[in-house]
Structure 1
Amino acid sequence: MGRSDRKQGGKSVAGGSDGVPTLSPAALYEAGLHHLGAGQLLDAQLCCQQALELDPGHADSLYLMGLISLQSRQHDHAVAWLSQAIRQTPKIDYLTSLGFTLKQMGRLDDALAVFDKAIQLKPDDAELWKHLGGVLLALDRGAEALLSYQHALSIDPAHKEAAFQSGLLLHQQQRDAEAVEAFTVCLTQQPNDLTALQMRAKCLRKLNRYPDYLADTERASTLAPADPLACNNVGDALVCLGRHAEALSWFDRALSLQPGMIEVLLNKGFALLQLRRFADAADVYQKILAIDPGNAKAAWQLAHVELQCGDYVSGWARREARWNMPDFSPEYPRFTAPKWLGNEDISGKTILIEEDEGFGDTIQFARYIPQVAARGAKVILVVREALRPLMTGIAGVSQCLAFKPELQRPAFDMHCPVMSLPLAFGTTLETIPPATYLPPPPADRVSAWEQRLGSHQRLRVGLVWSGNPHQGNDRHRSMPLSTLLPLLDLDADFISLQKEPRPADQALLIQQSHIIDVSGDLTDFVETAALISCLDVVISVCTSVAHLAATLGRPTWIMLPYLADWRWLRDRDDSPWYGSARLFHQDASCRYEPVVERVRAELTTAIAGFGPRAA
């Protein structure tokens, strides 16, 4: 009797010669798929085997055998079955499963080829582009992975996983504004996605969007009230907004959830320091060092508390912990030659002294170089090019070189970073060397500036209102030019010493007829020194120009934030480092407007006492 097909119970069956109905390969595949979904792998496998006995090329059954092998962690078998299915019919599901399997096996290049083939078959499938991005990411090809995720988003703008991965990669590339947009896509789909919320908060912090950062951290703490890091982040956001007292309660809440958390204690110490609670901040840093004696950041911060409070003996020594901070002065070479910190006899030795922090730091602490030479050492000095012409003439400098990454330094016996010189000389408040170490600027340059400035009939006032925007405390030490405008109606000649003014300040500066802007001609520190020598007073925030002016002995009025840098000590309007400096501190409001009012009053007095001078 011949075989005949018929329907039974809605499924295709085949009539055998004995009359017993036999399920078709398609029906057997469906049964196997059901068994696989129920976790019955053996039954699923039997169904597939029966289907393949009837039709060895039945693609769906070959595919299902691959899935069964994958569930059984038999990856090689899975690859073989899936590859057979694809040879029969290259369906997207088959290719996707094979790509996943190869990725799990670490065969990333093969997985990449499989997903690439799938995309060729269906280029408008956002999910495939997301899978391709995952393989590229595993291959450490982040830039290409980002493009793949972004293409997925161009197809499906609401694709949550592609948006999340894009956000992570954009954040890694410091493209935080775009990352915020990507994480916002995730949060639009799932508002309570804590990870996406925390990542967006991190990006907002990088962008200095502190009110938004606070909103996200508060939302995260609501979602995870028992998470100490969530509490810590709220405190950090409040610190960024200058709300330090409020921040302390959040740090304490985090510490109540997990006592001894170093990250939280560091933040708490910082907040206390901003409130000028020096003893409390020192206690926190001491607690960190009791828990983790090698914590360089805590030692570094404690050193600054000690220096600010005048404890130079402990402060200079503890400040050497900076060399154990991985992100500190990355360009400073780690020499194999020994470091000189004042203990060894250096008579007849060659010592390398190298800049290790900012321009202002180098100007301030170069005062020790003549003392190094006085101990009989030959001094080689390495500084950045902008400082080299100024530093070359310091007494005792045998050779002054400009730093560059490929610089080949002459042979030397020992080295000392510029900022370690106070330690090497055991500096106390009573033994600070005088600021009389810079040679006078060239007379021809001074004369050229005198001629350019014209008759000296009014007080000449140099102005600097902002520093390097990348400096960690710049948002507290700098101010916009608009804050200084109340000075400009006084009867004086104002000269801008401000290098690289920010866009808003540059636009305002152009409009001000009362400020002479010559900053474009200040090509190096020698040129700046020559101009400063022609001025009667320099009014500046805490920048290298303030150090230069004070070192030259010019009257220098330094406007400082509420928590001034450690070098200015506490509650002083003078400085033991600079005899010609006057300090004008913010009050607890942390605003510069009251400072400018006090400066204006003092300037008015100075103008009243000024007499015209001959050129």
Structure 2
Amino acid sequence: MLDEAFAAFHQALAVEPGNADTIWNLALLQMLTGDFERGLSGREARWKASSLGLVDRGFSKPLWLRDQPLEGKTILLHADEALGDSIQFARYVPLVAELGAQIILEVKPAVQRLLADVPGVARCIDRSSVTSLAFDLHCPLGSLPLAFGTRLDTIPFAEGFLPAPAARVKAWQDRLEDRLEDRLGPRNRLRVGLVWSGDPGHKNDHNRSISLRALVPLLDCDVQFVSLQKGMRDQDRAFLRERRDIVDLTEQLTDFSDTAALVCCLDLVISVDTSVVHLTGALGAPVWTMLPFNPDWRWLLNRDDSPWYRSMRLFRQPKRGDWASVVDNVRGELEALVSAWRNRHNANDEPVAAVAS
């Protein structure tokens, strides 16, 4: 099937060599199969691909792709895709800073406070502030993997690159304790965050998102579940009201910095492919990601780990639409994790932090 897809794209390019949509789709396939050398280069066609509708910002300053010296220069690194992409590619900011640049990082407000703490950021702004700032060069965040010649074995900071927001972690720890039955005694259960759906406006949302009800087999596990789900859909909100055992503090999550602090209070996050998995992996915290049969390019094929995030495990659909098998696999692994945690807890006769690897 993959060979046929490659052949079809190459045939189409032989007829129309400059077709940006074909180059873009071929690049996705190349990256999905681990060929970053060709795929990242072809991915630059996203600016001209009609299927994406991206708008070239028209900056008067030159585009930087590591082809010019940065010593003493100011560079604007700007978000060009979704929130998860901004988090994923923010790992390159310290590398740009090491080249001598002063970095202005432009991202969406939801992640502005979070990414302002990435090492090397001199100033973190939203898009409305760009016109009043002076800079010498610019680069989209999504182009930084290409600029640094990224390969599967050279992905930087896979162990995590976001510092935990320490001041907010304590506040969220207190909020969480106030909602838990075991707050007056030693903690005796794992704490597991849940996310089951992404942005309804995402073009692939029908494949990557599920309902909270689909996670019922998980909910019988002897853990304390904590919802991290923002933008909840009506049917999920109704079901959550029936499940009083799931702690829901999401109305108090004002941005991703708050979500990061709450994640730091948990032992594990289980999520579909959303920005929260990037956030958790960037913190170096354990995260289990549930993937559709046809995954996004960054998760590659036929592996249960991610070269982007060492703390991540991948759980894939064995066939299109088969979320039940994914949930069953996650349940089995979660029960094993609970058993191991309890054994350590009993051996030490005191609470033990879990490592979900």
Q: 1:342 aligns with which of 66, 69, 72?
A: 66
Structure 2: segments with no counterpart, 5+ residues = 178-182
Q: What number of residue pairs does the alignment pair up?
A: 337
- Specify the alignment match of 2:247 in structure 1: 516
In the alignment, the residues of structure 2 paired with residue 328 and residue 576 of structure 1 have an alpha-carbon distance, to the nearest angstrom, of 26
Structure-1 residue corresponding to 2:180: none
Question: What is the alpha-carbon distance in structure 1 between the residues aligned to residue 132 and residue 107 of structure 2?
Answer: 12
Q: Is residue 412 from structure 1 mapped to residue 150 from structure 2 by the alignment?
A: no
- The reply to whether residue 537 of structure 1 matches residue 253 of structure 2 is no
1:546-592 alpha-carbon deviations (Å, 9 max, x no partner): 11011111110000000111001110100111010000000124310
Is 1:492 paired with 2:223? yes
Q: Go from structure 1 to structure 2 and tell me whether the alpha carbon gap of 1:467 and 1:537 turns closer, same or farther (over 3 Å shift).
A: same
- SS of the aligned residue for 2:105 comes to strand
User: Which amino acid in the other structure matches residue 204 of structure 2?
Assistant: N
* TM-fit CA distance, 1:614: 7.6
1:588 maps to what in 2?
A: 319
Deviation at 1:613, TM superposition (A): 2.5
Name the CA distance, whole Å, in 1 between partners of 2:41 and 2:88.
18
Equivalent residue in structure 2 for 1:290, among 14, 19, 25: 14
Q: Which residue does 1:395 correspond to in 2?
A: 119
2:257 to 526, 543, 546: 526
1:325, CA displacement in angstroms? Answer: 2.2
Counterpart selection for 2:48 from 319, 324, 327: 324
Unpaired segments of 5 or more residues in structure 1? 1-276
1:482 aligns with 2:213: yes
Cα drift, residue 329 of structure 1: 5.6
- Equivalent residue, structure 2, for 1:114: none
Matched, 1:579 2:310: yes
Correspondence list, 1:49-448, <5 A: 277-326=1-50, 328=52, 330=54, 333-404=57-128, 407-435=130-158, 436-443=160-167, 445-448=168-171
Residue number among 260, 283, 292 corresponding to 1:552 in the alignment: 283
Matched to 1:596, the amino acid is: V
What is the Cα deviation at residue 407 of structure 1? Answer: 4.3
C-alpha root-mean-square deviation of aligned residues, in Å?
1.6
- Of structures 1 and 2, the one with the larger relative CO (CA 8 A, separation 6+) is 2
Q: Which one has a larger percent helix, Structure 1 or Structure 2?
A: 1
In the TM superposition, what is the alpha-carbon distance from 1:345 to its structure 2 partner? Answer: 1.4
Name the SS for the 2:109 alignment partner. Answer: coil
Q: Aligned AA for 1:416?
A: C
The amino acid of 2:207's aligned partner reads H
* TM-score calculated relative to the size of structure 2: 0.91
Q: Measure how far apart 1:499 and its partner are.
A: 0.3
Pair 1:457-2:181 in alignment: no
Whether the 8 Å CA contact 1:308–1:569 is kept in 2: the answer is yes
Q: 2:296 aligns with which of 561, 565, 574?
A: 565
Q: Distance in 2 between matches of 1:442 and 1:603?
A: 28
Q: Give the TM-score normalised by structure 1.
A: 0.53
* Matched-pair contact (CA < 8 Å) for 1:560–1:586: yes
State the identity as a percent. Answer: 48
Q: Post-superposition shift, 1:440?
A: 1.7
2:48–2:54 contact (8 Å) kept in structure 1 = no
Give the letter for the 1:452 counterpart: R
Amino acid aligned to 2:246 = I
Give the C-alpha shift of residue 332 in structure 1: 5.7
Do the aligned partners of 2:47 and 2:55 also contact (CA within 8 Å) in 1? no
Contact kept? 1:329, 1:357, Cα under 8 Å: no
The yes-or-no answer on 1:613 pairing with 2:337 is no
